[in-house]
Chain A
Amino acid sequence: GENVEQHPSTLSVQEGDSAVIKCTYSDSASNYFPWYKQELGKRPQLIIDIRSNVGEKKDQRIAVTLNKTAKHFSLHITETQPEDSAVYFCAASSNNDMRFGAGTRLTVKP
């Protein structure tokens, strides 16, 4: 089955800096890669996703890149703000399975 590894497990940045979270997956059939943000005590919410026919996608301060050959994808947050502080989960999905990474706790210091 799918195995998704996510790094780092914790990340602390200064407000205004960039944050990068990386994930690798094992199932070459994976073709959909969503990222979820979970604030403390709240439910996970989709912030951006990318499909395998696209190498990069951007939405304001958030971007995701995908390297299908290397089986890794990354989340980039620029100009971080304190409200970006949360746990971020990557996921890799094929037609039969969706697996999540273990999560990255991002702290943005004001």
Chain B
Amino acid sequence: KAGVTQTPRYLIKTRGQQVTLSCSPISGHRSVSWYQQTPGQGLQFLFEYFSETQRNKGNFPGRFSGRQFSNSRSEMNVSTLELGDSALYLCASSLAGGSARQETQYFGPGTRLLVL
């Protein structure tokens, strides 16, 4: 099976712009979670989607949003970018046969976003 893929891999934006990141989970996986990784804050949970619905949400401002499509692919959007949004954005998928929180998560390679 192909692993989790994310596009684009690298992105440079300026303050005030918006950005959309894409994540394709492993085939058959129904849950997609998004994380922000920065050197100072480690891995921080953004949100989780399951069956096109946001099931869990971390402590991020409303500028961060996402959605999931019927094929389980997910997108994450950040509006009004700030310098502090520069980070590696990782998505992870899991089967979610039961509770997604209890299963192995498989991470994608990440999208490295730089905000100038």
- Nearest Cβ distance between residue B94 and chain A, in whole angstroms? 10
A72 to B107, alpha carbons, bound, how many Å? 25
Tally inter-chain residue pairs, CB-CB below 8 A: 50
- For B35, give the chain A residue with the smallest CB separation: A100
Given A44-B107, A97-B56, A103 and B42 contact (CB-CB distance below 8 Å): yes
- Contact B90–A1 (Cβ < 8 Å): no
Contact-residue size bin, chain B (C-beta under 8 Å from the other chain): 20 to 34
Query: By the criterion of a CB under 8 Å from any partner CB, how many residues of chain A are at the interface?
Result: 24
Check B101–A96 contact: CB distance below 8 A: yes
A45 CA to B43 CA in the complex, in Å?
Answer: 13
- Are A101 and B42 neighbours in the complex by a CB distance under 8 Å? yes
| B43:A89 contact, CB within 8 angstroms | yes
Complex Cα distance, B59 from A32, in Å, reads: 21
Q: List 24 A-B contacts (CB under 8 A).
A: A31-B102, A32-B101, A32-B102, A34-B104, A34-B105, A43-B90, A43-B107, A43-B110, A44-B43, A45-B107, A51-B102, A89-B43, A93-B101, A94-B101, A96-B101, A98-B105, A99-B45, A100-B42, A100-B43, A100-B44, A101-B42, A102-B41, A103-B42, A103-B43
Interface residues of B (CB under 8 A from A): 33, 35, 41-45, 56, 59, 90, 99, 101-102, 104-110
